[in-house]
Amino acid sequence: MEALLTALADPARWRLVSLLAERPRPVGVLAELAGARQPQTTKHLQALERAGLVTAQRTGQRRIYALRPGPLRDLAAELHRLADTADRKGGPGETFDRYGLSLDAARAEAAEPGWADGRSFTFQRSLAGGPELVWRHLTEPSLLAGWWTPDDLRVSELVFEARPGGRIVQEYRDADDTTGADLVAGRAEGVVDEVRPAEHLSYRLSPQLPGGGAAFTAHVRLALRPSGAGTDLDVDYRVTGSTVESADFVAGIELGFGQSLDRLATILTATDAEIRSTR
């Protein structure tokens, strides 16, 4: 595929491909139609032949070239596959567009400090597994790290002390940055307020601005209730102390936290199924 793309990237070779798509032609005619010298045209045709795009046969003193359509069909199929992947319903592209709309709206609103104070978000999820299992994924750092960021990020540092007054530190990077070569994508620090194991958890968490200081403070309350299928989780997320610079952060709350909870649901479904299979 790389050789094919390299061959087609040259405008002169692309012109020859277009001419050969109409019908097979000799080198001299191709050079005349393309407005090029015959030696240059021959070199371009040889490059296209090496890439598998054209074939040739000699008739007397003439060399006739013809297009091989198969590689072009393969390229078209691959391009369609890439486009469908990027455009799939509910995929990253759709999420990116939704975040862009939220970002524009938040930036327009963020005219002065406190612009988003009191703004709240609610999330509900029906999760596999009992409250004890869910609680572990909400409070144990090794399990939190598996879901506590959106899909395009990964946790690079995590502290969660599940006791009143306990520290919280969440630092994350791009999911593809496994060596730490890129800048930290974000960092948040906070404190745990209330803990009732397997029932209730509340904490405050403040995303940090690039230059230091809190963008805003999130007051997060999570309630767990056993259900017939597992555990119902209710989350209340309230914003205070919002700064003008917090617009980008606030714009991503609904999508980002929702993605994280979706990942938690997926992990718990797999974990619960594994536990059941060993009984």
Cβ count near 84 (within 10 Å): 10
Q: What is the largest CA-CA distance in the chain?
A: 92
**Separation CA 69–CA 187 (nearest Å):** 52
In the chain, which residues fall in CATH 1.10.10.10?
A: 2-85
Percentage of the chain lying above the pLDDT 70 cut:
100
CA 266 centroid distance within chain: 17
> Looking at per-residue confidence, does 96 or 246 come out higher?
246
Task: Check the CA dihedral 153-243-117-190 and report its sign.
Answer: positive
pLDDT score of 189: 97
pLDDT at 151 over 80: no
pLDDT score of 185: 85
Q: Which helix (H) or strand (E) holds 235?
A: strand 230-240
The region of weakest confidence among 24-28, 88-92, 128-132, 264-268 is: 88-92
Cβ count near 279 (within 10 Å): 4
Which pLDDT band, with edges at 50, 70 and 90, does 12 fall under?
very high
pLDDT score of 263: 93
The pLDDT tens digits of the residues spanning 58-111 come to 888 888 999 999 999 999 999 999 998 888 887 777 778 888 999 999 999 999
pLDDT at 150 over 80: no
Contact predicate 231/130, CB 8 Å: yes
pLDDT at 279 over 80: no
Helix (H, G, I), strand (E, B) or coil at 136: helix
pLDDT score of 250: 95
> pTM for this one?
0.73
Q: What do you get for the CA distance between the two ends of the chain, in Å?
A: 49
pLDDT score of 61: 81
pLDDT at 126 over 90: yes
pLDDT at 179 over 80: no
Percentage of the chain lying above the pLDDT 90 cut:
76
Give the pair of three-digit tokens for residue 150.
Answer: 């959106």
Chosen CATH of 2-85 out of 1.10.10.10, 1.10.600.10, 3.90.1150.10, 3.50.50.60? 1.10.10.10
Per-residue pLDDT, averaged over 197-213, amounts to 95
Give the pair of three-digit tokens for residue 30.
Answer: 């191709």
pLDDT at 183 over 90: no
Residue type, 68: R
Q: Is beta strand 25-26 parallel, antiparallel or unpaired with respect to 186-196?
A: unpaired
User: Given 3-state DSSP classes, what are the helix, strand and coil percentages for the chain, each rounded to the nearest 5?
Assistant: 45, 30, 25
pLDDT score of 276: 81
pLDDT score of 79: 93
Which pLDDT band, with edges at 50, 70 and 90, does 184 fall under?
confident
pLDDT at 178 over 80: no
Contact predicate 31/37, CB 8 Å: yes
CATH code reported for the domain at 88-277:
3.30.530.20
Residue type, 42: T
In the chain, which residues fall in CATH 3.30.530.20?
A: 88-277
